[in-house]
Structure 1
Amino acid sequence: MAEQIKATKVRVESSKLVKPSYEGDPPSTDVCIPLSVFDKINYKVHGAVIYAFRPPTPPNTDIEKGLVTALSEHREWAGRLHEDARGEPVILLNDAGARFIEASSDDVLDRAVIHEPKFIVAWGLATRGLPVDPLPLHDRGAFFIPRNPPRVEFEHRGVEFTARKASLMAHLWRVVSVARGVDERITSGVRISVNGRARLRPPVPDEYLGNLVLWAFPRVKVGELVNRPLQFAAALIHQETARMDDGYFRSLIDFASLEDVKDEALEGAAEANYRVMSPNLEVHNLARFPFWDLDFGSGKPFMFMPCYVPVEGIMFLVPSPSGDGSMDVYVSLLKHNVASFKQLCHLVRPNL
């Protein structure tokens, strides 16, 4: 398990809005991109990550210039959330800019506690003077056209609205449940993000710039979870994630297109307001994201980690920089459960 880096004092030296720059005539700034159903049902939060690079790194002015170029291809990140004439959420491509902050600290990053997305990679390419490749795919509507007639084959009210990795998740689910001291009669669930890009037929390219995640939510009594073999929990996870196939994703697209559903004014069930998830967990599998490909000119990062999230019970699975297929796992727990969790992780190893 990866350890969190200790808190440090950081001074903000400057803060500015960086806007895209174009060769020739700039594009219109009143274009709106409608959000897809997958954008609407997912969290409305800003995600933060931390990278660390070995020196010598390029000057901040070069990194800022790279951001200017990258934003010209990824205009959504310089735009603003807005509503169209019907009150539907959209991204307004007004080139208002992205916040660029320079900060410093006197502390030294202690590597002793550190184990050895496409917008991000484009920024590194632009900083190095290289063309942005591959280019992002912006058209959300092209991939999620409802079938004619729509076929709603699964229940979506109350769900999306209001193998080796399965073993790893099963192990963590069990260990966290024991560390929390959850009553064995209580039902626990693990909410797992499922990337639909490779599950839709035809697959959606990784260059698609937008949300395409639904959630699997296997549940079981804690007593069964901790007392039955690990393979039992792993099978539950595999079963729930496997059913999130092309048919399930298409069913949701059709469901959201129905006029009576639109009249219900349903809201996404994915809420970011929880602070304590116990007895449940939420797992974000980031294995397919190219975090380690970010290069501003001094080489790839030697460390990547999610930023602190003040939510008990959230986990991030991140590919290890070693390149051997191993994973770093970041787990957020209440302080009085941490010691027990660490001890259990060392004493009980999953049979992967």
Structure 2
Amino acid sequence: MEVHVVSSTVIPQGLPPTENTKIPLTVFDMLAADMHIAVLHAYMPPMPTNTALKDGLKKAVGLFPTLAGQLVENDDHCRPYISVGDNGGGVLVVETNVGSELLDILPLEPSPELERFHPPIDETQHLLQIQLNRFSCGGLVIGLTAQHRVADGKAMSSFFVAWGKLVRGLQIDSFPVYDQTMLIPRDPPRCDHDHWGIEFQPLPLPPSIPPSTLNSNKIRNMRVHYSWEFISKIKTQMPRKHSTFEVLMGHLWKNITRARGLDPDTLTQIRLSVNGRPRLRPPAPSEYFGNMVINAYPRARVKELTKGSVADAARLVHDAVGRIEDGYIRSLIDFRAINSGDVLVPVTDFEEPFLCPNLEVDSWLGFPFHEVDFGGGGNLCAFASSWVPAEGVVILMPSLPGIGEGGVDVMLTLFQDHARLFREISHSLD
């Protein structure tokens, strides 16, 4: 399958304010991975023209100005910020023609081939990059990459919905919120929790990790589907009520650990992304645009997971998420204020791309994919993350209605031997 680049343009920032605006990165922005995250959305024909999509994108960029800004470090390298309204920046738009029909690549199975449908994520010059891949049948795959320190998944999904509405000529009824007053430190600031070694690496910094002897080619990206019927079966085993996420995550954690064949006394943990917006008191607006994700860390010994029940694993997930509440979030905000003169380095910056025996989990179950509509009559028929060259990553996303039986799709990355064993037991209820 050939992907031919037709054009590459930059949509400039919208009308600049009277003076350059500097939006400082919050402690949550600093915790986000300093990299672009790539996501693909596939639409059946008919779809609007590329011109219509770009016209709507220009309007959307005006409403979400940080996506077209520039990520800047101050001279002391302690206070990074997003520059809006200055020269430079903009959104990169690449247009391609694909010499095949969209049905030829559906469903979007994890593969390095998917990287051809979005701009490169290394050494990027733009915070937001979009690639419009037009297939011979008229179908479209929109490949989007965004700098994670500018916005989390919740924020980016709201941008996508707004872009679709603007292409259809509709008014936006929910505007992004950039006000950071709800994140002001307490007076005086105080740390009620220990954040060194949990969120940030204490100084002095450790030596750089030498290149791993493991080969990223040994990593397999895979997609596993869980129907609502199967998830309901797991829930019948629960002595107490749990969310779909908690139940499915308990099931996955238990079976992934079994597939890895780890020593029974090994400690395994999940780094689990939690949306902090509704957990603040008072809650932050759901429209807050930026990052407001905090990590929860359920932990257990391998023997506890493999010999215990799914209900036990789900309870560990539930309890760890429950500890992320207003007090913890305020403590993290104050931690940044107390250490405002120091270089804060996320602990994740010192990790290899091989997380075994641990996992990193993101849930997209609450994102409004079903609301993304560009008009023209074409329906969203698939969405997926791009190829992930790291082991131990798990992403939960809703299966699209009308495609299959519904439920939850799980994208996960494991070493090839572990992936083969997991595939065999992925639906085991033992």
State the TM-score, normalized to the length of structure 2.
0.73
Q: 1:86 to 1:111 in 2, by over 3 A?
A: closer
Name the residue aligned to 1:3.
none
Residue 115 of structure 2 corresponds to residue 34 of structure 1: no
1:81 maps to 2:161: no
SS at match of 1:303: strand
1:336 matches 2:336: no
1:130 matched to 2:209: no
RMSD of aligned alpha carbons: 2.2
Q: Which residue of 2 aligns with 1:120?
A: 160
Distance 2:106 2:344 in 1: 48
| Equivalent of residue 236 in structure 1, options 302, 316, 332 | 316
Number of residue equivalences: 335
The answer (yes or no) to whether the contact 1:20–1:69 under 8 Å persists in 2 is no
Q: Note the C-alpha offset of 1:114.
A: 6.1
> C-alpha distance in 1, partners of 2:351/2:54?
33
Q: 1:99 to 1:105 in 2, by over 3 A?
A: same
**1:119 match: secondary structure:** helix
Distance change (3 Å), C-alpha of 1:112 and 1:13: closer
**3-state SS of paired residue (1:198):** helix
Question: 2:344: which partner in 1?
Answer: 266
Mapped pair 1:157 → 2:196 = yes
Q: TM-score, normalised by structure 1?
A: 0.89
Shift in alpha-carbon separation, 1:209–1:172, aligned structure 2, 3 A: same
Matches within 5 A, 1:314-325: 314-322=393-401
For 1:233 and 1:105, the matched residues in 2 are separated by 45
Q: Which runs of 5+ in 2 are unaligned?
A: 110-156, 202-241
Aligned sequence identity (%): 39
Q: Does 1:176 align with 2:256?
A: yes
1:80-229 superposed matches below 5 A: 80-84=70-74, 87=77, 88-93=79-84, 94=86, 96-108=89-101, 109-110=103-104, 113=107, 117-139=157-179, 141-162=180-201, 163-164=242-243, 165-229=245-309
> Deviation at 1:229?
1.3
Q: Which residue of 2 aligns with 1:59?
A: 49
Gaps of 5+ in 1: 1-7
Question: Which of the numbers 71, 90, 114 marks the counterpart of 2:61?
Answer: 71
Q: Which amino acid aligns with 1:103?
A: T
1:308 aligns with 2:301: no
Moved more, 41-50 or 11-20: 11-20
Instruction: Specify which structure has the higher proportion of strand.
Output: 2
Match of residue 4, structure 2, among 7, 11, 18: 11
Hey, what does 2:153 align to over in structure 1?
A: none
Q: Distance in 2 between matches of 1:9 and 1:336?
A: 31
What is the SS of the residue equivalent to 1:311? coil
2:366 corresponds in structure 1 to: 288
Contact 2:108 2:383 survives alignment (8 Å): no
Three-state SS of the structure 2 residue aligned to 1:101 is: strand
Q: Which whole-Å deviations, capped at 9, do the CAs of 1:124-146 have from their partners, x for residues lacking one?
A: 1111122233111112x212011
Q: Distance in 2 between matches of 1:311 and 1:129?
A: 40
**1:255 pairs with 335, 340, 343, which one?**
335
